[in-house]
Structure 1
Amino acid sequence: MTGFWTIPELNELSTRLGTVGTPVAWILDALATATLIYTAIIALKAAGLPAMKAHMMKEDFLTSAFGDGSATTD
């Protein structure tokens, strides 16, 4: 639809399968695109996890060190 193909070889599937090939190629390309996007999201979340853990540990330390949690972290 947009002219962008994640796997360009799927664009040629319609010539091999005829009229059925185009929707099949769209579905397969959409699945490939969704898989790549989901993999990127998982990778970004995995990269952010240690930073979040460190932030939470710092907050816990400040709360235990200063008691009421009124300490600023900025």
Structure 2
Amino acid sequence: MVIENILLGIAIHQLFWEHLPHWGTWFTRGLRMLPHPLQSLYEQWRCPYCAGFWIGLGVHAATGNYLFDGFADMPVFWGSFGTPLAWFLDALVFAALNKLGVLTVHAIGLPALKGHQAKEAFLAAKKAA
């Protein structure tokens, strides 16, 4: 398994759906300038599985790496349909693992955020005393 592909997919998802919309107005202004169908796609692809499928295809195209090496060696009877099928199956598995990764990051993030807030409150109370 090429773990780098999954980490890249999680990072791309986090960047486009969790962080860029909150980094000033330039990103959301740019989204509003897109044609309505593309704006709709962005809104519909908030799901880490749905977006993960397309991110998986893009990561595979950019790196040339299959998530699992077994997809590179499709059975001969698939013929010329084997390569597109391998890309499709690779993206499906990528999407499932991408969703798991994003959900894991969110699950870890909440306790970390609460701990950070508690520490800041403690330090502020200590400073005020």
TM-score by length of 2: 0.40
What secondary structure sits across from 1:18 in the alignment? Answer: helix
The alignment yields a C-alpha RMSD, in angstroms, of: 2.8
Q: Deviations over 1:18-50 (max 9, x none)?
A: 011111110000111121122111101101112
- More off after superposition, 30-39 vs 19-28: 30-39
What's 1:41 paired with?
102
Amino acid at match of 2:71: L
Structure with higher RCO (Cα < 8 A, 6+ apart): 2
Gaps of 5+ in 1: 61-71
Please identify the structure whose Cα radius of gyration is greater: 1
Normalized per residue, which structure has more helix?
2
What's 2:82 paired with?
21
Q: What percentage of residue pairs aligned between the two structures are identical?
A: 38
Contact 1:13 1:22 in 2 (8 A): yes
**1:1-74 counterparts in 2 under 5 A?**
1=61, 2-13=63-74, 15-54=76-115
Number of equivalent positions: 66
Write the distance in 2 (CA, Å) between the matches of 1:4 and 1:57.
43
Contact 1:14 1:22 in 2 (8 A): no
Over 3 Å counting, the alpha-carbon distance change for 1:16 and 1:7 in structure 2 is farther
Over 3 Å counting, the alpha-carbon distance change for 1:35 and 1:23 in structure 2 is same
TM-score by length of 1: 0.63
